[in-house]
Amino acid sequence: MHDDGHKGRGERGEGYGAETAFAPAWAEATRAVRSGLCRSPHGETAEALYLTSGFVYETAEEAAARFAGEAEGYVYSRYANPTVAMFEQRLAALEEAEACMATASGMAALFGVLASQLSAGDHVVAARQLFGSSLQVITKILPRFGIAYTLVDGRDLAAWEAAMRPETKVLLLESPTNPMLEVLDIAAVAEVAHAHGAMLAVDNVFATPVLQKPLKLGADIVVHSATKHIDGQGRCLGGAVLGRKDFITETLMPFLRHTGPALSPFNAWVLLKGLETLPLRVHHASETALAIARFLADRLGPENVRYPHLPEHPRHDLAVRQMAMGGTLVSFRLPGGRKEAFRFMNALRIIDISNNLGDAKSLITHPASTTHRTVEAEERQRQGITDNLVRLSVGLEAVSDLIADLEQALGALEP
């Protein structure tokens, strides 16, 4: 790896690229642009894109030394790649994590966190307020390998404590949750995990590292679907796991290297560029989301609108402590049922219907028939995912245009 001589500014190439490279004094916006930067001998402004599967060596001895871990350098892009390494370092800087490893998707990251450290006979405790695919992994896939689970109401600390067993190894939650935007107490759940010798993993996709840093709240592992806010423009898939260096390098890395969910260097380059504008986009969209949440609360009644930084949110005080802003997602219930929800969505002229989120374009989905379709009806009802619930991902459009679009679509529900 070439180094351009600015190690003091945090620009370096470290072979495998999992360690954080940033100046601690840098502000977040600077980290988003400068962390992990490693220029080639050509001195390019934009980060280089290394579309290569393999690497060559000056001598056979050098190849042997790299494979033995005795010499620094790359050997194969399934293991590590210079572009992927820059993305890992930059995201680690934003999360203030010791280490990061990127994956092909957010679900590859989540499955890797669990499968890399669990064996037959182990036990997982997870909040039942999880993304549909995450629930499938916990309740359908892991049990096939002899791994037991318990689902709890993530808001109930007593339930977390009661679910713990001697064989419990991992606790898993997301906060805010998808799609009800419940806010779970990360620090308190971390205390439960650590009191029993377990690790807490947090899906931080809704808050992003800009608004919430679970590791600083006591979590051991953070999972991201980089497909969402980190890309921010609906271009590619990606995921990442962050945490302590020993977990990433000794537990997660061997599993991911040998099972193969490697992030494409091209996708890593796209995501790397997405990180540069992440703080700007998340802050702007969050401001717009709060304005929209206030509009909807006035129009539909505050009891029908969920947004973490609305005073009417049942865990508003916790949300304000954990999150710098309320995020880019707003969930709300419409008068009627599925038919009326579909009529409202079909009447929108600016906001697109899509199950994705965190995009520059505002997107809306009907969770009961899309993202949480595979969740049993009884469980959906328990979580409040009713047929009249919709989830809005707020983008970068003018707030006035988005509110006008919502207003006219609400008009389609009037007799």
Is the pLDDT at 408 greater than 90, yes or no? yes
Alpha carbons 145 and 383: distance in angstroms, whole number: 28
Nearest CA to 170 among 103, 112, 113, 251? 113
Q: Is the pLDDT of residue 167 over 90?
A: yes
Given a contact cutoff of 8 angstroms between Cβ atoms, the answer to whether 22 and 93 are in contact is: yes
Q: Report whether pLDDT(259) > 60.
A: yes
**Percent of the chain whose predicted confidence (pLDDT) is above 90:** 89
What integer pLDDT is reported at residue 12 of this predicted model? 30
Instruction: Give the per-residue pLDDT at 24.
Output: 66
Q: Which CATH number fits domain 7-274: 3.40.50.720, 3.90.1150.10, 3.40.640.10, 3.90.70.10?
A: 3.40.640.10
Q: How far apart are the C-alpha atoms of 156 and 28, rounded to whole Å?
A: 33
8 pLDDT higher than 50? no
**Tell me, what's the pLDDT at 212?**
98
Mean pLDDT of 165-173: 98
Task: Indicate if the pLDDT at residue 84 is higher than 50.
Answer: yes
**What is the CATH class of 278-411?**
alpha beta
- Could you give the CA distance from residue 112 to residue 262 in angstroms, rounded to a whole number? 11
The answer on pLDDT for 381 being more than 90 is: no
Using the predicted structure, report yes or no on whether residue 3 has a pLDDT greater than 60. no
Beta-strand pair 389-393/329-333: antiparallel
Q: How far apart are CA 47 and CA 82, in angstroms?
A: 10
Asked whether 215 and 96 are in contact (CB, 8 A), the reply is yes
Cis before 335 (ω within 30): no
Q: What is the mean pLDDT of the chain?
A: 93
- Could you tell me the CA-to-CA distances from 116 to 95, 224, 275, 320 in Å, in that order? 22, 17, 27, 34
pLDDT of residue 251: 98
- What is the per-residue pLDDT across 282-316, written as a single tens digit (0 to 9) for each? 999 999 999 999 999 999 999 999 999 999 999 99
**Is residue 89 a contact partner of residue 35, using CB atoms and an 8 Å limit?**
yes
At 95-137, the pLDDT tens digits run: 999 999 999 999 999 999 999 999 999 999 999 999 989 999 9
Instruction: Assess whether pLDDT exceeds 80 at residue 278.
Output: yes
Say whether pLDDT at 9 is over 50: no
**Inter-CA distances, 191 with 114, 123, 137, 143, 196, Å:** 20, 18, 25, 26, 9
- What's at 75, amino acid-wise? V
- DSSP-assigned states of every residue in 262-312: PPPHHHHHHHHHHHHHHHHHHHHHHHHHHHHHHHHHHHH-GGGEE-TTSTT
Give the SS3 label for residue 186. helix
Which position has the token pair 């061997």? 254
Q: CATH 3.40.640.10 region(s) of the chain?
A: 7-274
Say yes or no to pLDDT of 387 above 90.
Answer: yes
Q: What residue ranges of the chain are covered by domains with CATH 3.90.1150.10?
A: 278-411
Residue 269's CB is within 10 A of a number of other CB atoms, namely 21
- Can you tell me the mean pLDDT for 163-167? 98
Residue 4 binned pLDDT confidence (cut-offs 50, 70, 90): very low
Q: What is d(CA 72, CA 16) in angstroms, rounded to the nearest whole number?
A: 8
Crossing angle between the packed helical segments 399-411 and 338-347, to the nearest 10 degrees: 130
Q: Residue 32's closest CA among 245, 229, 236?
A: 229
